[in-house]
Structure 1
Amino acid sequence: MPGVAQSALWGMGKVIALEHPELHCVRVDLDPNAQGNEAQELFEEVWLKSQEDEVAWRDRIRQVSRLVHSHQTKNTPKTFTFRKDSTYLITGGTGGLGLLVARWMVEKGAKHLVLVSRSGSSQIEELEQMGAEVVVAKADVTQPEEVARIVREIEQSQRPLRGVIHAAGVVDNGTLTQLDWERFAKVLNPKVAGAWNLHLLTGNLPLDFFVMFSSVASLVGHAGQANHSAGNAFLDALAYHRQSKKLPGLSINWGSWSEVGAVATSQAATDYMKARGMEAIAPQQGLQVLEELLGQNAAQIGVVSANWSKFLEQFPADAYPPLFSDLAKEARQQAKGQPTRLQTGDLINQLQTATPEKQRELLIAYLQIQVTKVLGLDASNPPESHYSLNELGLDSLTSIQLRNWIRTDIKVDLPMKKFIVEASIDQLANALSEQLALASITLTEAPSADLNDEEEEEVIRL
């Protein structure tokens, strides 16, 4: 299974690139069918001066990734009807999204559903009143013997399994420095082991569809979700793997849904996504797209309600990943005539030529604009410079974004503790002023060759 086992690392790499741009994390997918050239290709890629951070080699051709609008659903929508004499299985079936999909399937003709859940309890009376036979199967999809039992019981019911929707999953957000293996495994297992067990144990069945609910996190990367991005990247790769074996396979990179799902139950998460141009998908809209996707043959489709111009603002001074190049061109065309942010070169020049007092004013004004953006605050009422950023809502995720902006725009790399421990705009401005002053000293006052030990130690420290 070339590439499937390593795919989770590809998803994690997207988050490494976002949380630690200073590492220049590049993902390289070597040709599994290459005849002895892998080391040379990797060597050349390492030394190649390129901005590309996602590269795949196939038949000695270097390919790069780009996110583009899909035309899969542009045709006349097809109505999908479920078989009345067949069974359909939904993992995560008793969750908000699972029940929403189950209700829609019954409305579209499904009469026999198996909802898989670790808890085993659910509100299924409404589905039964609609004329469906619903079985809530208490099982852990990460355990192959439990999945095998469910599949065996369905086949013994004389109502064959015809479709699978893998919607199981949990979220446990944290930056890379906060995540240990236990927190990774907690998120990876339902996605990776669950999908793999379903893949193996239904491989000999004539399924009409095998749909995995992935996330936009593995498509574009989300800071603070390395485990989530890794698990969903596996689903994306598994869909391609299944199709290569002439089996049905579709991975849908969903954005957040309104009313159901983890983001819908957290106002902070909703605000965070909205501040980045990601609006929630209305349930009816999402179900309509799901119906359209069931009637096409793509292996992977992203479904997200996004304002790409606003989304790209999270990256400093056009320093967005090459993945978004095509979308950025479209966003620039749409934004023609609108005011743009101060160019990095202009800001640095102003800071270098300003008096200390003027420099501090520029830094405070700059930080007020960036804090307002990163926290999604009212632009007409920027925060006072003495306010605690933590009380305003700055957390580990938004701190990473703010730090990355500062690093790109001002060429100063502040340690994360400056943002987390009772930080304010005043304090950040002071820290930046100190770093700019040190940079000026090291550039303009080069040491002579005749330094004593104490002087040499001080220069090295600076």
Structure 2
Amino acid sequence: MNFVDEEQGEQFINVVTNEFGEIATIVDLSDIHKNQVSSIRVQYGKIRLLQRFVKHISGNRGYIVHITNGLQQFKNNQSTLLGADIAGFVKMLGSEYGKILSKTVDIDIELDRIQDIADIVYYEVGHFGLATEICYREGKRYVTYMKELDSAKSKGFAGIRVSKDKVVVITGGTHGIGALLANKLVEKGFRKLVLMGRQLIPSKKEWSSALNSNEISNAIKTRIRLIQDLEEKGAEIRIYSGSLLDKEKVANYFTEIRNTFGEIYGVIHCAGVSNIENPAFINKSVADMKKVFEPKILGVQVLHDIFVEDQLQFFVLFSSISGVIPSLAVGNSDYAAANDFLNAYARYQNQNGYTYYKTISWPSWKSVGMGTIKSSVYKNLGFISIDNKQGLSLFRRSLKYEAVDNVIPLVVKEDFKTSDLLDNKVKLNTDRLNNDNTQIVKKKELRKVYQNKRQLYLLS
């Protein structure tokens, strides 16, 4: 069964439902083989199966248990990416749909130990709690939790030595958060940037006429002015326009960059797209999901292959707290799943020797990126949207830490508990929000960065 193929996924669903009726429980064992996989194709057929299952639940409850074998890095020296494209969906479905109970379970068992695997599956199908991410190591059961990272001192630009001669690449760098970072890097002394974006920008000789033309969009004019401003500050800027998935084109472009512009020093991957037109998971089309997955799941793998031989000092992936906190993925499941993949990808690459990888899972930025989030869940959890100054400060702070995946929850809630954030069914107490202490708590929490960890939970 090839779950990458959407049509095969549909055929599988039809065969099962025609023969046995609607499905009550899904136990997904298709991602447990131990083949080392360094790249992933999205299993759209499996996503379609999950959509069909959620839409046509038989009975009062629907249960999903997704089993992986080495996806979690915890106590694991042979990690894999198998299942990383699906895990994010499974973790959040219980938050979006009240009838669904779902979780991912990572094991460390050889496939010939069939009875041991069966025992775990049997237990997990029969025991659903609030945890959505579980792993077994040497017979012990662990669940996720968040741990506040200790402050650390650094030198230079947040621990990264400034280089005037080497090149920093920023995807999504011609607008939004990427443009803010480009300005900050130049302010700190970097002088060579490659800014990547999908929109075609006119050649420099056409800028004057483009800025005075009514036929050129304001978005393009803003990008031109950004480049002009950076150059006036002393930077040399190169622009790549096009899809990250055109691997040959991207590879040829950076071969030319290395030959004529300079050595690649670091990468900041800010590119991202969300799909807000069809918020419900069951209504999302494969075509819409592909747009979201292109930069986050597929694009990052292209970038890794292109820069794998460069002596990078950093490769920072911009993720989202929606990929970590299930309740914040409601209505944005594909975007959350894509960001969850980024977190898994950074952990995987670190374990394979590329220790310059790091993810930062952001809350919303007010005026850039995906913009201010106004959902009641976001507010009731105690989150606020950050402004540009706060975001740039948090970026600098997060680079101080050795942790691979950093989570930045900027909160205004006095009784903020990280344990609440990872639950499948969050019970919100809006009465305990205290707006009078917003400024005090904001300053306190602004200094906090969290890391995903694992907490021991023994079976009785």
* TM-score, normalization by structure 1: 0.64
Matching of residue 55 in structure 1 with residue 158 in structure 2: no
Partner of 1:424: none
Match of 1:251 in 2: 359
Tell me the CA shift for residue 199 of structure 1. Answer: 1.2
Q: For the structure 1 residues 62 and 275, does the alpha-carbon distance in structure 2 shift closer, same or farther, using more than 3 Å as the test?
A: closer
- Amino acid paired to 1:229: A
Matched, 1:223 2:302: no
Q: 2:236: which partner in 1?
A: 133
Q: Distance in 2 between matches of 1:217 and 1:136?
A: 30
Q: Deviations over 1:247-305 (max 9, x none)?
A: 111111011112212214xxx74887445532112222221222233343211001121
**Match in the other structure for 1:448:** none
How does 1:93-112 map onto structure 2 within 5 Å?
93-112=173-192
Asked if the contact 1:143/1:194 (under 8 Å) is kept, the reply is no
Q: 2:257 aligns with which of 147, 150, 154?
A: 154
* Superposition map of 1:250-329 within 5 A: 250-264=358-372, 269=374, 273-274=378-379, 276-308=381-413, 322=423
Letter in 2 for 1:8: D
Amino acid paired to 1:40: D
Q: Distance in 2 between matches of 1:170 and 1:147?
A: 19
Matches within 5 A, 1:176-187: 176-187=281-292
Equivalent of 1:66 in 145, 161, 175: 145
Q: Is the 8 A contact 1:26 1:54 kept in 2?
A: yes
Structure 1 residue 230 displacement after superposition = 0.8
Match of 1:143 in 2: 246
- Pairing partner for 1:175 from 273, 280, 284: 280
- Alignment check: 8 A CA contact 1:281 1:304 kept: no
Check 1:132–1:320 CA distance in 2 against 1; reply closer, same or farther (3 A cut): closer
Who is 2:95 aligned against?
18
Q: Aligned partner of 1:167: which letter?
A: C
Q: Unaligned regions of 5+ residues in structure 1, if any? A: 313-317, 342-375, 377-462
Query: Do 1:87 and 1:112's aligned partners in 2 also have CA atoms closer than 8 Å?
Result: yes
Q: Classify 1:141/1:32 alpha carbon distance in 2 versus 1 (closer, same or farther; 3 Å).
A: farther
Superposition pairs for residues 85-100 of structure 1, below 5 Å?
Answer: 85-100=165-180
CA distance in 1, matches of 2:389, 2:410: 13
Instruction: Quickly say closer, same or farther: Cα 1:158–1:301, change in 2 above 3 A.
Output: same
2:83 is matched with which residue?
6
- Change in Cα spacing, 1:303 to 1:322, as seen in structure 2 (3 Å) is same
Distance 1:194 1:282 in 2: 27
1:193 to 284, 295, 298: 298
Cα distance between partner residues in 2 of 1:35 and 1:215? 38
SS of equivalent residue, structure 1 residue 304: coil
Structure 1 residues 146, 58: CA separation in 2 closer, same or farther (over 3 Å shift)?
farther
User: Could you say which structure has the higher helix fraction?
Assistant: 1
- Structure 1 equivalent of residue 198 of structure 2: 118
CA distance in 2, matches of 1:171, 1:249: 23
Deviations 1:9-48 (A, max 9, x none): 1211232111113221122122276762333322222223
Distance in structure 1 (CA, Å) of the matches to 2:149 and 2:424: 15
Give the structure with the larger strand fraction.
2
Q: Number of residues paired by the alignment? A: 325
* Distance in 2 of aligned mates of 1:139 and 1:88: 18
In structure 2, do the counterparts of structure 1 residues 47 and 324 end up closer, same or farther at CA, with 3 Å as the change threshold?
closer
Amino acid at match of 1:210: F
- Structure 2: distance between partners of 1:131 and 1:233: 37
Distance 1:231 1:180 in 2: 15
Q: Please say which of residues 30-39 and 253-262 is displaced more in the overlay.
A: 30-39
User: What amino acid does structure 2 have at the position aligned with 1:48?
Assistant: H
Aligned in 2, Cα 1:309/1:39: closer, same or farther, shift over 3 Å? farther
Q: CA deviation at 1:227?
A: 0.4
Aligned amino acid, residue 311 of structure 2:
P
How far 1:157 sits from its partner (Å)? 2.1
340 and 151 in structure 1: CA distance in 2 versus 1, 3 angstrom threshold: closer
User: What does 1:75-90 align with in structure 2 at a 5 Å threshold?
Assistant: 75-76=152-153, 78-80=155-157, 81-90=161-170
What does 1:386-397 correspond to in 2, within 5 Å? none
Contact kept, 8 Å, 2:325 with 2:422, in 1: the verdict is no
Deviations 1:173-229 (A, max 9, x none): 301122121111111111111111111221121100011000011010321011001
Counterpart in the other structure of 1:361: none
Q: Secondary structure at the match of 1:110?
A: coil
Partner amino acid for 1:278? F
Supply the AA of the counterpart residue of 1:136: I
| 1:88 partner SS | strand
CA distance, structure 2, for counterparts of residue 46 and residue 104 of structure 1: 49
Structure 2 residue aligned with 1:241: 348
The residue number in structure 2 matching 1:44 is 123
**Structure with the greater alpha carbon radius of gyration:** 1
Task: Measure, in 2, the Cα distance between the counterparts of 1:186 and 1:211.
Answer: 21
Code of the residue aligned with 2:132 in structure 1: it is D
Q: CA deviation at 1:109?
A: 1.4
Q: What's the TM-score, normalizing by structure 2?
A: 0.64
Q: Is the 8 A contact 1:113 1:134 kept in 2?
A: yes
Task: Give the letter aligned to residue 188 of structure 2.
Answer: K
**AA at the equivalent of 1:287:** L
Counting only pairs closer than 5 Å after superposition, residues 277-426 of structure 1 correspond to structure 2 as 277-308=382-413, 322=423
Counterpart CA distance in 2 for 1:142 and 1:307 is 40
> How far did 1:5 drift?
3.8
**Structure 2: which 5+ runs fail to align?**
1-36, 38-69, 72-80, 202-222, 436-460
Alignment partners' CA distance in 1, 2:335 and 2:183: 27
Partner of 1:439: none
